[in-house]
A and B are shown apart, each in its own frame.
Chain A
């Protein structure tokens, strides 16, 4: 059977980095071929070349046996390639129909023929089982539906090859399962799919073949039933990756954080945290598990001074901290790794050094009498960059130039290098690659071993189970159960997260 797509010897050099180094890649008709690699491995560069957004320095691409040379995405689209980017290419203020027809609009005379386009969209919806409403405004659609619109957009252009770039990065577990179902449906209709990701479980669950890239090169191709997570991780990172977090026994001592009957209302005046009570002891990790949207975000925001508390009390080492401001929380020894690192954790346009002193810039030695001393700032930031292995050319580049993993390391470095008693980590490894995840998990356990109380909030069940000593499950704003991490199972937690009550032994 001939390959529907073949790329041979693709090489692409950017200033300072060889993004693709003689890469070979092929795709068989009707297969789901996963392209696995860490951030910076060259996967997105390769796909951008296949889609005509970049031009390769050398190499050949052929579609169905015919050599092609794409000047722009238009050529790729005409050859039957469609791409769904990680950050959607949808105009928020347009309707679904307007977004889908953009660039190849059907007209009646001079006017746009919206009716014809809607009809065609309905047809595709039915044919592929992808429900979208042409008249909806994209910005009002949930992320999972927006992704469906992107897929329909590609199919509307008669794509036979679909490239999905990190599609599950923005989806809930349920939406991800939905996506996999759609992917299989598409292949049964003859569409071939290239699926870019760095998530090991997904790759083993849904692909027919897996190609691993590292440092711009292809490391190898394997079949999912002939490999496992550990082997794939090793291929991705180039060394043994410890997927299991190596942690000793917890030695919890006294309560550091006490939450009593906390109630929080969201901006629409709905009660989202409904009488939550728990405590976290020094030297233990309490993991809060739950599907996104059950009150975890507001809980953390209330505990860090970012959201008003309606009623209830919060005690930090015996001091009543209810409703205190973030600075007060920080000064009392709380560290916070926020859920949305780009919005709440960093000032992206600032240099790395400034972000590293974001909590303490006003204190000596960084500032005296309101004037900042650059010398201590420089010294401190260089120390942290070295200590936490933050990959940046200098402390003075703007933080937005760093990769996601390194941005997170800046936050971790800043928060964990202060004298703290409590660490609140909210989705600390969201969107990060295996190497960064390993590092951050190690840091969290290290904190716990230094008798710091850790409150870990995460929607990744694996992360909760790997790191926590005790696990509290949140469902609809309440803690439905608190279990011992050593004795619980995935199934039990899954049931609790879905709202069923636990039957304790």
Chain B
């Protein structure tokens, strides 16, 4: 990623941090605020990182994935439902239920990915439409099932939302978590940690392995790949399913790591923000990660500023309104997509179905 882009990211993050520190330093020491902001940023950017990685895998092989939002939402629901079923009906222990929920979420994502691949590769439907289908399908299924299962008197839960088995417990990373003051940054929940590990793994796979080379070839010049014997359709299917699984893990974050409940539409546009992060990061894992951190920082900004509401000086009182601060991630998305921070190049064959 080039300097201009990196500079922009650093700039925005610094500004967000500085504002929060200035507001809150009356009550809480600056270092504590900064550590808290960093820890929150890492945590809330988890679904964005995973969503962006999902996009990278799909789009590098030539399939645009607008349906990340829908994949996240449906995985959030089914993962949550599975964990509650196990814990409430089958009386399994909390951790087992949660982990099972994660597995189900990943599988749900994979299945949605399979659907997208089927529409895009086999039926050659316009991929933007295919992704939108997935989004609408997710909203419909999750909304409907949520009402039926949890609010219908005759359902298996008897018309009440049962207690969820909690959320995935945070992990203390050995050594790093014991650092005085900054140690808090290294206490993160499993999916957040996995997301960072995936960034490194994805970078290696995409740029340094056979799989990555062939997938990228399929996304840039499928006919060239075909003439050297690569099965273009198979590669696209597999990459999209992998992308779906990763988006599934992002969905698991919402209901199994962040908050122990499901709300309709709780993904709140974060699937689309991940796309912006992917584009801004030039379709690379590390770029997508850095961009996700900016968006995560803007969310952490919103959260922390809420915490310090009372401390906001009168001339900045508009910041007390949650919606003003809440706009920041979306404004950032729009600004980045205008291309003012420089243009990026998508894989050449995006949204062009391959005809043999």
* Cβ-closest chain A residue relative to B224: A89
Residue pair A83, B227 in contact (C-beta under 8 Å): yes
> CA separation between A51 and B209, bound complex, in Å?
27
Which residues in A have their C-beta under 8 angstroms from that of B224?
Answer: 88-91, 99, 102
B90 at the interface (CB under 8 A from A): no
Q: Judge whether B208 is part of the interface by a CB distance below 8 angstroms.
A: yes
A103 and B210 alpha carbons, distance in the complex (Å): 8
A112 and chain B: residue at smallest CB distance:
B208
A50 to chain B, nearest CB (A): 13
Give Cα A72 to B232, complex, Å: 13
Contact A72 B220, CB 8 Å, known A98-B213, A102-B213, A103-B214: no
Give CA–CA (A112, B220) in the complex, Å.
Answer: 19
A103's nearest neighbour on chain B, judged by CB, is B228
- Contact of B214 with A89 in the complex, beta carbons under 8 Å: no
Verify if B352 is at the interface (C-beta below 8 Å from A).
no
Which of A73, A93, A104, A111 is the one whose CB lies under 8 Å from B227?
Answer: A73
- Do residues B227 and A53 form an inter-chain contact, with CB atoms below 8 A? yes
Could you tell me if A112 and B221 are in contact, using CB atoms closer than 8 angstroms? no
Contact with A along B178-205 (1 / 0, CB 8 A): 0000000000000000000000000010
Contact across chains for B208 and A103 when beta carbons are under 8 A apart: no
Closest to B221 in A: A91
Does B226 lie at the interface of the complex (its beta carbon under 8 Å from any beta carbon of A)? Answer: yes
- Write out, one digit per residue, whether chain A residues 81-105 have a CB within 8 A of any chain B CB (1) or not (0): 0010100111111100011011111
The answer to the question of A205 belonging to the interface, with a C-beta cut-off of 8 Å to chain B, is no
How many angstroms between the C-alpha atoms of A105 and B213 in the bound complex?
9
B residues near A102, Cβ cutoff 8 Å: 213-214, 217, 224-225, 228, 230
Is B210 a contact partner of A105 (Cβ separation < 8 A)?
Answer: yes
Bound complex: CA of A92 vs CA of B345, how far in Å? 13
Contact residues in A for B208 (Cβ distance below 8 Å): 110-112
Residues of chain B from 328 to 356 with CB closer than 8 A to chain A in the complex: 345, 348
Residues of chain A within 8 A of B226, CB atoms compared: 73
Contact A110 B227 (CB under 8 A): no
- Within the complex, the shortest CB–CB distance from A271 to chain B, in Å, comes to 30
Which of B217, B223, B229, B230 sits near A94, CB closer than 8 Å?
B217
- A109 closest partner in B (C-beta): B209
Provide the bound-state CA to CA distance between A93 and B217, in Å. Answer: 9
A401 contacts partner chain B, Cβ-Cβ < 8 Å: no
Cβ-defined contact, B213 with A111, below 8 A: no
Determine if A93 and B213 form an interchain contact, defined as CB atoms under 8 angstroms apart: no
| Given A73-B227, A73-B229, A83-B227, A107 contacting B217 (CB threshold 8 A) | no
Checking B213, B220, B225, B228 against A92 with a beta-carbon cut-off of 8 angstroms, the contacting residue is B220
In the assembled complex, the Cα of A10 lies from the Cα of B221 at a distance in Å of: 30
Q: Which of A243-287 contact B (CB under 8 A)?
A: none
A189: Cβ under 8 A from any B Cβ: no
Q: A444 at interface (Cβ–Cβ under 8 A)?
A: no
Q: How far is the CB of B130 from chain A (nearest CB, A)?
A: 22
Partner of A111, one of B209, B225, B229: B209
Distance from A107 Cβ to chain B, minimum over Cβ atoms (Å)? 6
Which B residues are in CB contact (< 8 Å) with A107? 209-210
Which residues does chain B contribute within 8 Å of A88, judged by CB atoms? 224
- Measured between C-beta atoms, what is the minimum distance from A366 to chain B in Å? 33
Residues of B within 8 A of A51 (CB): 227
CA distance A134 to B283 in the complex (A): 24
Tell me the smallest distance from the CB of B55 to a CB of chain A, in Å: 18
B220 touching A94, Cβ below 8 Å: yes
CB distance from A124 to the nearest CB of B (A): 17
A103 and B209 contacting across the interface, CB-CB below 8 Å: no
Point out the residues of chain B lying under 8 angstroms from A89, CB to CB.
221, 223-224, 227-228
What is the bound-complex CA distance between A99 and B210, given in angstroms? 12
Verify if A74 is at the interface (C-beta below 8 Å from B).
yes
Q: Is the CB of A91 within 8 A of B217?
A: yes
The CA of A93 and the CA of B214, in the complex, are separated in Å by 13
Least CB distance from B356 to A in Å reads: 8
Is A112's CB under 8 angstroms from B225's CB? no
Q: Which residues of A, 126-185, contact B by the 8 Å Cβ criterion?
A: none
Contacts of A110 in B (CB 8 A): 204, 208-209
B228, closest chain A residue (CB): A103
In the assembled complex, the Cα of A307 lies from the Cα of B266 at a distance in Å of 54
Pairwise interchain contact B221-A85, C-beta atoms closer than 8 A: no
Q: Is A77 an interface residue (CB 8 A)?
A: yes
Please give the distance in Å from A14's CB to the nearest CB on chain B: 14
* Chain A positions 382-439 with a Cβ under 8 Å from a chain B Cβ: none
| Residue-wise interface mask of B (212-245) relative to A, using a CB-CB cutoff of 8 A (1 in contact, 0 not) | 0110110011011111111000000000000000
> Which residue of B is nearest A54, CB measured?
B356
- Bound Cα distance from A187 to B348, whole angstroms: 37
Which among A74, A90, A92, A93 is the interface contact of B229 at CB below 8 angstroms?
A74
Q: How far is the CA of A2 from the CA of B19 in the complex (A)?
A: 83
Measured CA separation A107–B204 after assembly (Å): 13
A107 to B209, CA, bound (A): 8
CA distance A111 to B345 in the complex (A): 25
Question: Given the known A-B contacts A73-B226, A103-B214, A103-B229, are A90 and B209 also in contact in the complex, defined by CB atoms under 8 Å?
Answer: no
- Within the complex, the shortest CB–CB distance from A86 to chain B, in Å, comes to 12
Partner of A85, one of B209, B210, B216, B227: B227
Instruction: Give complex CA distance A112, B204 in Å.
Output: 10
Interface hits, A104-118 → B, CB 8 Å: 104-105, 107, 110-112
Closest chain A CB from B284 CB (angstroms): 13
**Complex Cα distance A112/B223, Å?**
22
Q: Give min CB distance, B201 to chain A, whole Å.
A: 11
B209 touches A72 (CB 8 A): no
Residues of chain B contacted by A73 (CB below 8 angstroms): 226-229
Tell me which residues across on chain B come within 8 A of A111, comparing CB atoms.
204, 208-209
A72: contacting residue among B213, B229, B345, CB under 8 A: B229
For A104, list chain B residues within 8 Å (CB): 228
Are A103 and B223 in touch, CB under 8 angstroms?
no
Task: Give Cα A91–Cα B226 distance, bound, in whole angstroms.
Answer: 12
How far, in whole Å, are A77 and B227 apart by their CA atoms in the complex? 10
Give the shortest distance, in Å, between A131 (CB) and chain B (any CB).
22
A107 to B205, CA, bound (A): 13
Q: Which residues of B contact A (CB under 8 A)?
A: 204, 208-210, 213-214, 216-217, 220-221, 223-230, 345, 348
Give 8 A-B contacts (CB < 8 Å), ordered by A residue: A74-B228, A74-B229, A92-B221, A93-B348, A94-B217, A94-B220, A102-B213, A102-B217
Closest 8 CB pairs of A and B: A103-B228, A74-B229, A89-B224, A91-B221, A105-B210, A91-B220, A89-B227, A111-B208
Besides A102-B225, A107-B209, 7 more A-B contacts (Cβ < 8 Å) are: A51-B227, A74-B229, A89-B223, A89-B224, A89-B227, A94-B213, A112-B208
